[in-house]
Chains A and B, each alone.
Chain A
Amino acid sequence: MSLIEQESRNTEVLDPGIHDHGVHDDDGHHGHGGMTPDGSEPLVDPKYSMRDITDDVLAPMFKFPPLGWHLAFGAAQLCFALGLVIVAIQMYRGLGILGINNPVGWGVYITDFVFWVGIGHAGTLISAILFLFRQKWRTGINRAAEAMTIFAVQCAGIFPLLHVGRTWKAYWLIPYPNDRLLWVNFRSPLLWDVFAVTTYATVSVIFWYTGLIPDFATVRDKAKNKIQKGVYGVLAMNWRGSIRDWAHYERVYAQFAWLATPLVLSVHSVVSFDFAVSMIPGWHTTIFPPYFVAGAIFSGFGMVITLLVPMRKFLRLEHIITMNHLELCNKVILLTSMIVGYAYLSEFFVAWYSEAPYEKAQFIYRAIGMLDSPQGGVAHAWAFWTMMTCNVFIPQLYWSKRLRRNLKVMFIISIFVNIGMWFERFNIFVLSLEHDFLPANWSYYQPTLFDWGVTLGSFGLFFTLFFGFTRVMPTVAIAEIKSILHRPNAGGANRRFEVVSWPTESAPVHPGQAAVAGTAAEKEDAEDGKTS
């Protein structure tokens, strides 16, 4: 590389206007400067070279973290430590210190379990399903979203193990030849869950690591510190970037996507079977699998926004994780919000239309009902209305493009989505159990501080892992983002690269250009057919 070129690169990196892109996006104007000749907006502004991308993504890994990061990391660790203490107390004293009672045997622990499993789904949707649909914009956010998936599934895994009571015997869930001469019951949905969640966790981790190998190699080759070089060298597994290796790698990656897609849909379906296969009114419905999957994607994208909005700001990745990415996530939130809203309403409709008295009574109880208790009438209708407000009403703000592209608004709405989805699970599990068939059975559920403490601990674990991740791993898939970089100067007779741009409504598409775009896409399809 010539000296002049190197100099121009350096000035580009030092240019203070470099991270301004997001500000312009805030008020809906996009595509200033960085437009392609045909008027569409490229995924990454063409002024950034491959070297810029590498440097910007790896910058946080080669610097000592700032004070703000230490404070946030410390706070998360503190919450985690508190959670561990409470877990220790709960293990010593038993499940009696929690709020669960008879008949409400599934309380905050199971709510937390389903909440965290659901969070994970957005990451797999982005990494696998959007990959299969050739949504190239996913490359900007898939790494962070997959990290979120893995950390969320780890948090989820804790709760059933605690909930079994004698956690030290939790390995009895695994079928293995034993002295008791017993086998697990494979006809039980609870055991299906064991298999579904462990498979999901394993596949998510190896899929994630596969994506990280080429990026670890980049870190290895860029690192100046000897220890860092060695550690990332081991993690990079001697990856060199030979085309022969890439040919294998791409097949492996695509196959992971093909495996993870049905897997992620199966996981939350299986979680919903835990409820749908039983007989409790409010649980025993066929709508549960698609309803749970849509809710999981909804909550997961909520968490993606909660994590990415601060992350892109503090790690200065606004030019890679752009406003367009966030807007598309918000559109997914709007869509899935309406799917879950439809599911809520159809549950009510079916309760009325089926003339099943217990089902009807359950849904009246959820929305406006009271239970008699020694302290007087108590109700959990507030939980139901919290869910409706956060999940159905508030996301409707996203019909406005202005709000979809406003960082503060989307961050606040994403918090509401997280809260709403937690209460959706609480609403389904706890309210159904509180109000089953016989009035003599009915009982109010009141979580204790121990329930909340363990919940806080799980958030502490999640954020400890995520904050750690942002400092020790490339938070963006560098190799993938390079493959979609816009290179206006690159060309020639052998050009086989497509121009990857955002689908913009404002882009003027002339009939001639549309035809050219069509043939380019067809050509690529033909190539895909040849190689696959």
Chain B
Amino acid sequence: MARLPKSCVIGFFNDPDQLVHAAGEATNEGFRNCDAYSPYPIHGIEEVLRIRRSWIPSAALTGLLIGACLGFALQYWTHVIDWPINVGGKPLNAWPAYVVIVFECGVLCSALTNFLSMFVACRLVPHPFPDVIDEDLTNDRFALVIPARSDEDESAATQLLKRLKADEIRKVEQ
């Protein structure tokens, strides 16, 4: 979960197009670090809000390589170093026979890295009764969160959201 800023103005919308439009306007007006909430991923809004690319792909690739290397190391070490058994004069390091397990270990390690990285990146923790902004944000409502450090910011943001015909405007002070 991305954290809400200390004080902010939240505008609610019923339509994803309105949300993208509003996010664009807010960025044009000079508001930085805006966030948006939506029941499903909206494509294109990341560029509007200038959200950086996710770092998870590189983590998953690293996981893939580490897993594959460990898979090969395990087989090489057990069959060649720790307990070499000569089967029909075949080479101890019979690498073609190791390919399947190298692949499986790579995929497993990458998938687990991918999964755990998501928990880290999105700060996911089990929480029975979280304090959600609005219960319909996971249903059919959309929200634009504009951080407001000063009173001028706050009134400007409110003005902007009013102009954009936000369904509802809330001010949050923590």
Interface residues of A (CB under 8 A from B): 1, 49-51, 54, 175, 181-183, 186-187, 189, 191-192, 195-196, 199, 202-203, 206-207, 210, 213-214, 217-218, 220-222, 229-231, 233-235, 237-252, 255-256, 259-260, 262-263, 266, 270, 273, 478-480, 482-483, 487, 490-497, 524, 527, 530-531
Q: Across the interface, which residues of A come within 8 angstroms of B100, CB to CB? A: 189, 192, 195-196, 266, 270, 273
| Most A C-beta atoms less than 10 A away, residue of B2, B114, B127 | B114
Per the bound structure, the CA–CA distance linking A256 and B116 in Å amounts to 12
Partner of A221, one of B57, B114, B135: B135
Partner of B21, one of A182, A234, A494, A524: A494
Interface residues of B (CB under 8 A from A): 1-2, 14-18, 20-21, 24, 35-49, 51, 53-54, 56-57, 60, 74-75, 78-79, 82-83, 87, 94, 97-98, 100-101, 103-105, 107-108, 110-112, 114-115, 117-119, 121-130, 132-133, 135-140, 167
Contacts A239-B122, A244-B51, A496-B20 known; 4 new A-B pairs at CB < 8 A: A221-B137, A478-B39, A492-B18, A494-B20
Partner of B140, one of A51, A251, A252, A262: A51
Interface of chain A: mostly helix, strand, loop or mixed: helix
Partner of B130, one of A218, A233, A256, A530: A233
Is the beta-carbon distance between B17 and A497 smaller than 8 angstroms?
A: yes
Is the beta-carbon distance between B140 and A202 smaller than 8 angstroms?
A: no
Is the beta-carbon distance between B2 and A244 smaller than 8 angstroms?
A: yes
Is the beta-carbon distance between A493 and B21 smaller than 8 angstroms?
A: yes
Q: Across the interface, which residues of A come within 8 angstroms of B79, CB to CB? A: 183, 186-187
Partner of A206, one of B39, B56, B111: B111
Q: Across the interface, which residues of A come within 8 angstroms of B103, CB to CB? A: 262, 266
Per the bound structure, the CA–CA distance linking A491 and B128 in Å amounts to 37
Is the beta-carbon distance between A240 and B94 smaller than 8 angstroms?
A: no
| A210-B118, A240-B133, A482-B39 known; A491 vs B17 contact (CB < 8 Å) | yes
Partner of B118, one of A240, A252, A270, A478: A252
- Residue ID in chain A nearest B57 by CB atoms: A251
| A203-B107, A243-B37, A494-B17 known; A234 vs B56 contact (CB < 8 Å) | no
Is the beta-carbon distance between B35 and A255 smaller than 8 angstroms?
A: no
Is the beta-carbon distance between B78 and A183 smaller than 8 angstroms?
A: yes
Is the beta-carbon distance between A247 and B54 smaller than 8 angstroms?
A: yes
Partner of A243, one of B51, B83, B114, B132: B51
Q: Across the interface, which residues of A come within 8 angstroms of B38, CB to CB? A: 241, 243, 246
Smallest Cβ distance from A481 to chain B, in angstroms?
A: 8
Q: Across the interface, which residues of B come within 8 angstroms of A229, CB to CB? A: 128-129
| A221-B138, A234-B128 known; A245 vs B1 contact (CB < 8 Å) | yes
Per the bound structure, the CA–CA distance linking A130 and B60 in Å amounts to 21
Partner of B54, one of A182, A214, A248: A248
Q: Across the interface, which residues of B come within 8 angstroms of A493, CB to CB? A: 21
- Residue ID in chain A nearest B139 by CB atoms: A54
| A252-B114, A263-B107 known; A479 vs B44 contact (CB < 8 Å) | no
